[in-house]
Amino acid sequence: MTFQSPGSKLALSHKHDWLILLLLAVIDGLLNLIEPFHRYVGENMMTNLMFPFKKDTIPMWGVPIYSIFIPIFIFIAFYFARRDMYDLHHATLGLLFSSLITGVITDCIKDAVGRPRPNFFQRCFPDKIPVYDKDTGDVLCTGIKAVIKEGYKSFPSGHTSWSFAGLGFLSWYLSGKIRVFDRRGHIGKLCLVLLPLLIAALVGITRVDDYWHHWTDVFAGGIIGLTVSTICYLLLFPLPTQPHGTYSCC
């Protein structure tokens, strides 16, 4: 007779959900290998695509740290305070679903749209000597292939959508845990709940400031991430207006 902890039993009861998460991760990885659609870029279209090619203020490897690992750390802190394995499991599951579903949606749209980034000119022509097809007028890029590939993936902003997916879910979670809607008027609670959304918004702003995205890319990314995080939270938790913002059993 084998012993199973409550956490492992709970995970096994949701094994299909964890397998779907794995499948989503594989799909998202494959989407990043696909060559995006190369939208036509004529010489007269380069005016808004000649911004400096700068380094990211927030590198892509940093996104999972603040949008996934920090929220999970907060979930664990609530677990030690309340010893609610059901809450920890569902919060982690919901966060990962929110992030991976958002990632798949974002990368599908990126590959299908193929919108050039604001710094496309320097990606395409690192020597700053433009070359265009004599027949079609389309660009004939002379830069590094991988850099050019990323240059066609402006819409929507992945940094922004992932940020709002993870931090948006965290905002929902905190609003339930600290009972921000208890009608007692604690403005400090509201500020705490809005903080993750502010951080996500600031991440989006850096994408415009770095000239990696147009403002419409960031706006669309925020809508996608916030929408998915809301749906994923409400699939696993009651509205934050309910007592404690969590279920009491499995």
For the ranges 82-91, 93-102, 162-171, 219-228, the lowest mean pLDDT is seen at 82-91
Nearest to 155 by CA among 190, 195, 115, 189: 115
**3-state SS class at 139:** strand
Tell me the whole-structure pTM to 2 decimals: 0.91
Query: Where do the structural domains in the chain lie, given as residue ranges?
Result: 58-116+153-245
Using alpha carbons only, give the angle 134, 211, 201 rounded to the nearest 5 degrees.
140
Q: Residue 9, CB half-sphere, CA atoms under 13 Å: how many?
A: 8
| Residue 192 CB contacts under 8 Å (≥ 6 apart), including other chains | 174, 178, 180
Contact status, residue 95 vs residue 112, Cβ threshold 8 Å? no
**3-state SS class at 29:** helix
pLDDT of 250: 42
Residues known to be catalytic: 159, 213
What 8-state DSSP symbol labels residue 69?
A: I
The average pLDDT across 227-243 equals: 90
Sorting pLDDT into bands at 50, 70 and 90, what band is 241? confident
User: What tens digit of pLDDT does each residue of 182-219 get?
Assistant: 878 788 888 999 999 999 999 999 999 999 999 999 99
Tokens coding 161: 């959508």
